[in-house]
Every structure is written in C-alpha cells, then in structure tokens.
Amino acid sequence: MENNIFNVAVLGAGNIGSAVIARLMDLDKGIVGLNVKKVLVKDKDKKRDISSDIITNNFDDILNDDSINLVIEVLGGVDPGKEYISALLEKGKAVITANKDIIADAGVDLIQKAKENNACLYFEAAVAAGIPVLKPLIESLRGEELSKVLGIINGTSNYMLTAMEEGSTYEDALSTAQELGYAEPDPTNDVEGLDAKYKAVILSLLCFGVSPSSDELFTDGISGITKEDFEWAARLGKTIKLVAQIDNKNGFNARVHPVLIDTKHPLAAIRGALNAVVVEGENINQLVFSGPGAGAEPTASAIIGDVLSACHQLNSDQTNWYPLREFKGEMKSFEDVQSSMFIRLSVSDEPGVLAKISGTFGENNVSIESVIQEGRGDKAELVLVTHEAPEKDIKNSIDQISALDSVTTVTSTLRVYV
Ligand SMILES: NC(=O)c1ccc[n+]([C@@H]2O[C@H](COP(=O)([O-])OP(=O)(O)OC[C@H]3O[C@@H](n4cnc5c(N)ncnc54)[C@H](OP(=O)(O)O)[C@@H]3O)[C@@H](O)[C@H]2O)c1
C-alpha cells in the first residue's frame, strides 16, 4: 500500500454496503487512510449516493486491480459471494464479510485459503452483527476450554416472541415485524430457525473446532408458538426464547429451538430485536455479550472494526488467525441429548386418563416432574413437565400418548431450559 493508504472495494451497496461506504468515507484519517476505490453492484443504473466513477458491475475490475488490498463482501446469499471471496483470498487480498451463509457453508475452507495465501479473512458481523463477540471468542478466550455457548442470535424471532409475551398473537407479531423491516416478506429463515442455525455453525467452529452438518444440527422455529404457551410460561415463572445451544459437556451437540427459560436467566432479559451470546467455561464461569444483532449501523460498526484489524495485519505482515480450536469430544446425536419437556394435551375427562399417560412415560423411562389438570369434560387440559430424559425416549412417549383414545390432541411441546 502506498503511503499507508489502503485501497478498498465494497461488494454490494444495499442496506449494509451503503452504511459501510458512508462510514469508510467518514473515518478519521488519523486512524488509517482508506480510499474506497470500487463498489460492485448488480444494477449500475440504480440511483445511489455514491459517485458513479467508482461503481462497477464487473467483479474482475476488483479482482484484477492489484492496488486494491482490502475487499468487503456484503452481497448476501451464498452465490456468487463464495466464489468471489475465494478468488480474492487466492490473490492475497484481505477480505471482510458479514455473510453468515457463506461462513457457515465454507468457513473452514476459506480460513484455510486465507492462511495459504497469507491473506486475511474477518467476519465479525456474520454473527450477532453489532455485538463484538467473535473476536473475544477467537482471541481473548482462546486459552479457555469452553463448555457451553447459548445464543439469542436472531433478532426477528426475538422481536416477535417479545411482542407475544406482551400479548400479541403470532400473526400480529409477524405483521408488525414486517412493517418495521425486521422480517422479510418471506420470513421462513428467521421464524423457522434457519438463520440462527447458520450462526450456530459458526459459533460451533470458533468455540469448539467443529462445524456440525445441517443434519447434525437439530433446528426448530417459533411458528408453532401461541399466546397460550406464553400464558403457561408465565404461570411457571418462565418465558419463551429461540435459543441456539451448543454444548460440549458429555459429548458435543448443537441445536436451535424454542425453550421455556426461567425469567431470572440472563437470556430472558434480552427483549425486542436485541441479540445475546452467553459463553460458559471453567475459569470464566459465565460471560454475557448483548446488544444490537441487526441493522445497518451496528453491522457497519462491526465491519469497520474488522477493516481496522485487517489494515493492522496488512501493515504488520501477521496472519490473523489464532490456530482454530481442536475438536475435543465426541459428537452426540440430538436423540441422545437430555431434555426436559413441557407438554400440553387436550384429554377427555374420564377416570384413568392420567394413569394411562403417566404409565406411557414410565414405560419409556421418562419421569414426570409436575402435572396440572384444568377444565372439565371436552375442555380438559393436562400440562406436564418431564424430568430430563433422552430426546428419543421423550419423542416415543409423546408419539404413543397422542395415539391414546383419551387424548384429543397434543397441543404443544416445548423444551425447558434446565
Ligand atoms: N441487514 C442486517 O441487519 C445484516 C446484519 C448482519 C449481516 N448482514 C449481511 O449483510 C449482507 C448484505 O445484506 P443487505 O441487507 O445489505 O443486502 P441488500 O440490501 O440486498 O444489498 C445487496 C447488494 O448487493 C448487490 N448485489 C447482489 N447480488 C449481486 C451480484 N450478483 N453482483 C453484484 N452485486 C450484487 C446489490 O446490488 P443492487 O444494489 O444493484 O441491487 C446490492 O447493492 C448479507 O450477507 C446479510 O446477511 C445483514
């Protein structure tokens, strides 16, 4: 780089790209000299607050410009960003991305490629956007054996669950989230837990040195949760959160699903579109990172932090990666994970129903912690909470109970965070 000026290219000038470009233009030159040399977009003719001189729709203008040392990828989706990042790293350029899909899909290979080419790759904004959590995990906590990571890492679903806790229906919570721009017109990735799943893969890699495959990472979303579930949660001193849980105690398992969680747990206090990551280990006990997990400004802030780290690295010729953690432990399949389950059933109010249900649990070695029966006749409702038992035994019990004549419906099942 000439006179310590870094030439930067930005791939994408949408929501995040335009906020990043504005921040780069504004950055205190006393910190570092940055020159935005090229911006890649799809539609060159779209009206933007960016000089047309630096706009291109040809990626090769960036790849083949040897004066560009640093590239920020904020295109979205896996293609063509993954190929672009790979090609840029092969050329030895520093790459910063906010793209969880690409890092979850190909993070290990891309980190390796960065190392082989003495390039660097940073992706702080890919998990929990504005919360600087990856750098502490990679650097500050590198000497710690972590045992567990929990995260509320999808702001849209947390916004909706908070609204439901306050009395909204699922449908109202979703339409308000869409009006406010938190939820996409097609909200599947957020409400079905897929966005959180990608981020959980990245956290698994950085905290435990393993990337669980899509099949290994059990995922369930919030679309089945009702106002009534929240009413029950409140009666039990709990609330409901969509939580990514990554555990390496007695085997490694990562999963994303809603949980009933005690209102005193730090994650219960994370409201609205905020995110939080809780990290546990023997020497640190518990650390809680929380803050804005989405939005153009917080995301741009994380990206600028990465840009400055990359500039420092380019100046010092160091590699940015502490060695990735080595996976210690064994993969545990979800069906062997111990869960405690809250189960709500509509039952016919006749003698012996409870005995049949508890007998079925007993045959599957699942013991019941508490039972509440409400209502009479056709409206009788039974709410059970089980002690911890392997997922497969709980599933078998529920399958068998739902086939009993006296059980009208299994209205809801929710795992209880223990
Ligand atoms: N939104 C958040 O709060 C948030 C938080 C953390 C991370 N992220 C991540 O940030 C990334 C960007 O998100 P965004 O909301 O800024 O997306 P966006 O608003 O849809 O912007 C995408 C930009 O990329 C350009 N683009 C897309 N495909 C292209 C292609 N094939 N060739 C050239 N240019 C292309 C588009 O060009 P045109 O302008 O010509 O259409 C647009 O400028 C995503 O990976 C997202 O997951 C977002």
| Residues 56, 159 within the same domain | no
Instruction: Please report the pLDDT score of residue 375 as a whole number.
Output: 79
Stated pTM of the model: 0.95
Residue 323 lies in a domain: no
Distance 92 CA to ligand 1 centre (A): 24
Q: Which of 286, 135, 394, 42 is nearest to 17 (CA)?
A: 42
Q: In whole angstroms, what is the distance from residue 400 CA to residue 395 CA?
A: 9
| Residues 146, 287 within the same domain | yes
Polymer length of the chain: 418
- Backbone phi, then psi, for 291, in 5-degree steps? 155, -165
Domain final residue pick, 314, 345, 365: 314
| Residues 404, 361 within the same domain | yes
Domain of 347 in residue numbering reads as: 336-416
Cα dihedral 312, 314, 315, 319 sign: positive
| Residues 197, 266 within the same domain | yes
Instruction: State both tokens at 154.
Output: 């999808």
Residue 412 lies in a domain: yes
Domain total for the chain? 3
Protein residue whose Cα sits closest to atom 4 of ligand 1: 294
Cα dihedral 99, 157, 298, 213 sign: negative
Instruction: Please report the pLDDT score of residue 29 as a whole number.
Output: 73
Active site (catalytic) residues: 199
Question: CATH number for the domain including 73?
Answer: 3.40.50.720
Question: CATH number for the domain including 185?
Answer: 3.30.360.10
Residue type, 250: N
Residues whose beta carbon lies within 6 Å of some atom of ligand 1: 12-17, 40-43, 46, 74-76, 80, 98-100, 125, 129, 294-295, 299
Protein residue whose Cα sits closest to atom 21 of ligand 1: 14
Q: In whole angstroms, what is the distance from residue 378 CA to residue 410 CA?
A: 14
Instruction: State both tokens at 299.
Output: 């995301």
Q: What is the pLDDT of residues 123-145, one digit of tens each?
A: 999 999 999 999 999 999 999 99
Residue 54 lies in a domain: yes
Q: Which of 97, 93, 84, 87 is nearest to 123 (CA)?
A: 97
- Give the mutation target among 50, 74, 184 for probing the ligand 1 site: most ligand atoms within 8 A of CB: 74
Q: Which of 294, 303, 299 is nearest to 34 (CA)?
A: 303
Which atom from ligand 1 is nearest to the alpha carbon of 15? 16
- Backbone phi, then psi, for 133, in 5-degree steps? -115, -30
Distance 102 CA to ligand 1 centre (A): 13
Residue 331 lies in a domain: no
Residue 225 lies in a domain: yes
Protein residue whose Cα sits closest to atom 41 of ligand 1: 42
Instruction: Please report the pLDDT score of residue 319 as a whole number.
Output: 67
Domain final residue pick, 283, 314, 345: 314
Protein residue whose Cα sits closest to atom 18 of ligand 1: 14
Question: CATH number for the domain including 377?
Answer: 3.30.70.260
| Residues 110, 226 within the same domain | no
Which atom from ligand 1 is nearest to the alpha carbon of 129? 6
Instruction: Please report the pLDDT score of residue 4 as a whole number.
Output: 74
| Residues 146, 284 within the same domain | yes
Which atom from ligand 1 is nearest to the alpha carbon of 155? 3
Instruction: Please report the pLDDT score of residue 1 as a whole number.
Output: 57
Using alpha carbons only, give the angle 324, 325, 331 rounded to the nearest 5 degrees: 125
Protein residue whose Cα sits closest to atom 27 of ligand 1: 75
Residue 134 lies in a domain: no
Cα 146 to Cα 122, 206, 230, 294, 401: the distances in Å are: 22, 10, 32, 26, 38
| Residues 342, 303 within the same domain | no
Which atom from ligand 1 is nearest to the alpha carbon of 57? 33
What string of DSSP letters covers 347-358? E---TTHHHHHH
Instruction: State both tokens at 90.
Output: 């092969």
Domain final residue pick, 281, 314, 347: 314
Distance 79 CA to ligand 1 centre (A): 12
Q: Walk along the chain (418 residues) and give the pLDDT tens digit of each residue.
A: 555 789 999 999 999 999 999 999 988 777 788 999 999 999 999 999 999 999 999 999 999 999 999 999 999 999 999 999 999 999 999 999 999 999 999 999 999 999 999 999 999 999 999 999 999 999 999 999 999 999 999 999 999 999 999 999 999 999 999 999 898 899 999 999 999 999 999 999 999 999 999 999 999 999 999 999 999 999 999 999 999 999 999 999 999 999 999 999 999 999 999 999 999 999 999 999 999 998 999 999 999 999 999 998 888 867 666 778 999 989 999 999 999 999 999 998 788 889 999 999 999 999 999 999 887 777 789 999 999 999 999 999 999 999 999 999 999 999 999 9
Distance 16 CA to ligand 1 centre (A): 7
Residue 330 lies in a domain: no
Distance 1 CA to ligand 1 centre (A): 28
Instruction: Please report the pLDDT score of residue 317 as a whole number.
Output: 67
Instruction: Please report the pLDDT score of residue 30 as a whole number.
Output: 74
| Residues 185, 98 within the same domain | no
